[in-house]
Amino acid sequence: MQSVEVRLTARDAQVNEPWVWRLCKEFDVRVHIQKANVDSDFGTMQLRLEGPVEEIQRATAWLMTTGMHVDTLQRSVTA
């Protein structure tokens, strides 16, 4: 199983979208919210995504298409 930590930065209308819900529903990944600071017009979230490598890659690729700023912070592989 792979684990990847990402930081998402959202602005304006992006803040009101259900990003975490969509990650859970559309991809075979487990989402852990590490930190979050969300206001009405700006927000940051640090998430840990766990799951098969292919699904994490699909999920992070999709996040990059949303217009949010996505930073990969840490990667790890567990047996």
How confident is the prediction along the chain (79 residues), in pLDDT tens digits per residue? Answer: 889 999 999 998 888 889 899 999 999 999 999 999 999 899 999 999 999 999 999 999 999 998 899 998 877 655 4
- Report the CATH number that the domain containing residue 35 is assigned in CATH: 3.30.70.260
DSSP per-residue codes, the chain: -EEEEEEEEEEGGGGGS-HHHHHHHHSS-EEEEEEEEE-SSEEEEEEEEEE-HHHHHHHHHHHHHTT-EEEEEEEEE--
Q: What is the pLDDT of residue 73?
A: 87
**Which amino acid is it at 56?**
I
In total, how many domains does the chain have? Answer: 1
For 35, the domain range is: 2-77
| Cα(13)–Cα(29) distance, integer angstroms | 25
Q: What is the pLDDT of residue 76?
A: 67
Q: What is the pLDDT of residue 1?
A: 81
pTM (2 d.p.): 0.85
